Structure 1
């Protein structure tokens, strides 16, 4: 299926509000999806015999910058039998307060491998995934403060008495 056909399929299934925009200027076009519908969209794209996106290649978190106060998640899907790839993006505005993390639905119920990708995104950017089965740090110690890939992150000078910088 072409990008336009996939877009039409999603609009027919979920309504026009499911797609909030599109990016067609890069190497791979992306559909901007309403954040609360990402799991439904992934499930449809995986189960629909016309698309069969059976492989989640990666999930990447994005900090759009301090001025934008926006965080996002990028999903790279692939259909092995159809040799097709698709990029989906979701984003939300957020105050950058560490007590109010940007939140998206987990897609671990659709793709099991999302478990590790979402944990890494949480660990490094502080993006919370609702209904994730085991959302905790994966690369940094459990008591690490902050999220190192955020644009406003300031590294601690010491961690447990050991100089960090």
Structure 2
């Protein structure tokens, strides 16, 4: 299925959509260019022969000290009992006022709204086009992104010691 799916995506979106394919893990991984993520997700959901109807998870990876992040999408086709992982790699200068950006896939799978909010809240990935991107686990006025490898724990929050 993977070779056929890759060829179908290349024929539909062009070879520039792919960065690489990783086949050495449990599930095949398509590393895609960030500009293609929404269209390819829509294609994977709506093409009857693949029908990836379920987004089970979105996570983010920090490659500190490099200025690199990866957003990982775990997809499943429930009727066909197939799984696929998509990744997009982002470079960023690690500044709080300039977050790494990726388009939201919440228009493809509604569950992405919650997963993207978590990746935003904890890793500082900004999902453009998200209908309600705000913190989901931490208070709205929390500073920083605690799952980043360069995160420094604050001494206190509103005068309350955190140690």
TM-score between the two structures when normalised by the length of structure 1: 0.97
* C-alpha displacement of 1:62: 1.1
For residues 86-165 of structure 1, what are the structure 2 equivalents within 5 Å? 86-165=84-163
Q: Distance in 1 between matches of 2:137 and 2:57?
A: 17
Report the Cα offset of residue 92 of structure 1. 1.2
Computed over aligned residues only, the root mean square deviation of the Cα atoms, in angstroms, reads 0.7
* Distance in structure 2 (CA, Å) of the matches to 1:131 and 1:113: 15
Instruction: Find the aligned partners of 1:152 and 1:46 in 2 and give their Cα distance.
Output: 36
Residues matched between the structures, number: 163
Q: CA deviation at 1:128?
A: 0.1
Paired residues for 1:1-165 under 5 Å: 2-66=1-65, 68-165=66-163
Return the offset for 1:9. Answer: 1.0
Gaps of 5+ in 1: none
- Normalised to the residue count of structure 2, the TM-score between the two structures is 0.98
